[in-house]
Structure 1
């Protein structure tokens, strides 16, 4: 395996991040997102959104590389208070110390090579450096690979779920939470290294 690393994304990485998102969704999310949503993905528009996100200081975009290839990405930052809220809508008492992993994707053809684990380790380091003591992530219930990945890392569902509209379907997501002091041995599997289970 060529040298693998994680680094902050640069504006010039936006095209590769967009390609990975579109390719990964089309390969691994066919049972989660409607075909019409996947068919309407416009790589050029997605690239513009990623370029804006990379330039924005509210969240950090990290990319995983293997040799000269970009193979995955992660988006992390402070959790908006409403994302930490319980079923009563009241933000968690530790909302100011809670980080959010907004997205973590590894292109399926690069799965099972530790890239997801390296992204998660880097995300934890970045969030801890910013003052976070725990993290949260929302994962589609049908995405068994990502649920298993975060559970291996020590995160568990906290009892909250939400339903998002996705074209003619809805997507049910679970909120997982856990500590940010990941150990390399705990995060050996990559999300999206196989299609999510139904």
Structure 2
């Protein structure tokens, strides 16, 4: 059984994922600058050919810091962080699904980003292993995630980790550009 606790300091209450040798733990307020930086860096790298350059260049670590500070203080959604030594590698935010058609047994990955310098190192896999186990412990039976249609690397990642494409799509406007997201689902319970 896996239970995530808020750490008193960075190195307490961590979980080790043996295949990657990185720790995944609940993020604390001291982690917010790393989470904000990873969020901006990963968007700029992952969405470079999907979203307008002006929008990506305008992303602000300071604004992301405000958002993630609120998340940590509220405790919702759950925020976990993958670290190796003193380096933050990536994070995931998740909780009960916000989708109108979801039942109480469905969780949602609201955000999952790994710093571009650490792509393909196993940090994303470690985050998903811990996230799925924690969601199952909280009695969720499925996990969903929305992915930009043109984000093929992310779509392949989710498929490789047990997610399957559902016949659900939605239109969003990001940076003044219309984009389509696809919903993926993974049965866990």
SS at match of 1:96: coil
Q: Deviations over 1:28-61 (max 9, x none)?
A: 2111221121122111111011011111123110
| Long gaps (5+) in structure 2 | 1-19
TM normalised by structure 2 equals 0.85
Aligned to 1:61: 79
Q: CA RMSD in A?
A: 1.6
Is the Cα contact below 8 Å between 1:3 and 1:67 reproduced in 2?
A: no
Superposed structure 1 runs of 4+ greater than 6 Å apart: none
Aligned to 1:187: none
Q: Map 1:90-169 to 2 at 5 A.
A: 91-92=101-102, 95-169=103-177
Is the Cα contact below 8 Å between 1:78 and 1:127 reproduced in 2?
A: no
Aligned to 1:13: 31
Q: Deviations over 1:147-175 (max 9, x none)?
A: 00111112111100011101231121100
Query: How far apart are 1:180 and its partner, in Å?
Result: 2.5
| Long gaps (5+) in structure 1 | 86-90, 182-198
Q: How many residue pairs align between the two structures?
A: 171
Is the Cα contact below 8 Å between 1:62 and 1:119 reproduced in 2?
A: yes
1:25 aligns with 2:33: no
Which of structures 1 and 2 has the larger relative contact order (alpha carbons within 8 angstroms, sep 6+)? 1
TM normalised by structure 1 equals 0.82
